Structure 1
Amino acid sequence: MADNQQVTSFVVRFSPMGQEDLQESQRWRIRVTHVQGQEEMTVASMEELCEHMEQILKRG
């Protein structure tokens, strides 16, 4: 393993929104935390989650 390897970590939490008995159409609140920068953001979809994480990774 290289000594200068950069590590970027995320914590992703999914919380149900609305009525839990409608599981097929279940909506989720997705909270992502960038561990190194202590940045936290709530997104509404997996697409938004991936976009947010990609932006942080591009910053380096």
Structure 2
Amino acid sequence: MGRRKVEIKRIEKKSSRQVTFSKRRNGLIEEARHLSILFVAVLVVSASGKLYGSSSGDK
């Protein structure tokens, strides 16, 4: 059984969009920690322009 195609659309409700961003950001940073042997850092910028980052030296 394969994956279904998901329609990508903008989340209009600002609070829901922020929650989704936070979950995706945390997931991305966690995955980056697992892959830290292959790269140096990951940077994520929110819709409000706030910068989040993680590097292989972070614990």
TM-score by length of 2: 0.30
Bigger fraction of residues in helix: 2
Bigger fraction of residues in strand: 1
